[in-house]
Amino acid sequence: MGSERKRRGSGRTRKPREASWRLCRVPEKAEALDPKDLSLGELSKKSGVSKCYLSHRFVRLVGCSFSIYKARKRIEKAKRLLTTTDKSVGEISDELGCCRVDHFCKNFKAATGYTTTRFRNYFAKHKRFPPDKGWLQGKKMGIKST
């Protein structure tokens, strides 16, 4: 058998660390994708593993579930857009792939502790992001902060 192992009950063989080798670049691939295009299916295609397996292993690789990761990535991009552009909240919401502005605003406030307007005003006055007070800080939902 050499470097291949035979699975019990199946006639298939696999290389011992093939799946983990493919997964080691998942965080890089996830970072490269735009938050609007980020999906578990797309990431699993790029990684060459199944959606189910990727979902299961994502927590160990990144430190949070895929849905939390995607929400964090959207919030980080929203922060950048709010502070570097004069786009309206509706335009930013559309750019991030959110279907409703009120839903986006509610999630932004839950994640940061600030409304979009208050966040933008704070940055204009202090020239830095305000400290996170919401779940993005990692205190709620039992997630590791990255």
pLDDT, residue 60, reads 83
Confirm if 128 and 104 have CB atoms less than 8 A apart.
no
Q: What's the Cα-to-Cα distance from 133 to each of 54, 109, 110, 117, rounded to whole Å?
A: 30, 9, 8, 16
Name the band, by pLDDT with cuts 50, 70 and 90, for residue 19: low
Q: Cα(141)–Cα(125) distance, rounded to whole angstroms?
A: 31
CA torsion through residues 61, 98, 87, 89, sign: negative
Instruction: Return the pLDDT at 141.
Output: 40
pLDDT of residue 10: 55
Token couple for 21: 């080798």
Burial of 15 (0-12, 13-18, 19+ CB in 10 A): exposed
Q: What pLDDT digit, counting tens, does each position of 71-107 carry?
A: 888 899 999 999 999 999 999 999 988 889 999 999 9
Predicted confidence (pLDDT) at residue 15 exceeds the cutoff of 50: no
1, 17, 50 from 8: Cα distances, Å: 14, 17, 20
pLDDT at 139 over 50: no
**Top-confidence residue, 145 or 57:** 57
pTM (predicted TM-score): 0.70
- In this structure, whether the domain defined by 70-137 belongs to CATH 1.10.530.10 is answered with no
Which of 62, 28, 65, 64 is closest to 47 using CA atoms? 28
Confidence of residue 12 (pLDDT cuts 50, 70, 90): low
- Per the structure block, which two tokens stand in for 63? 């430190």
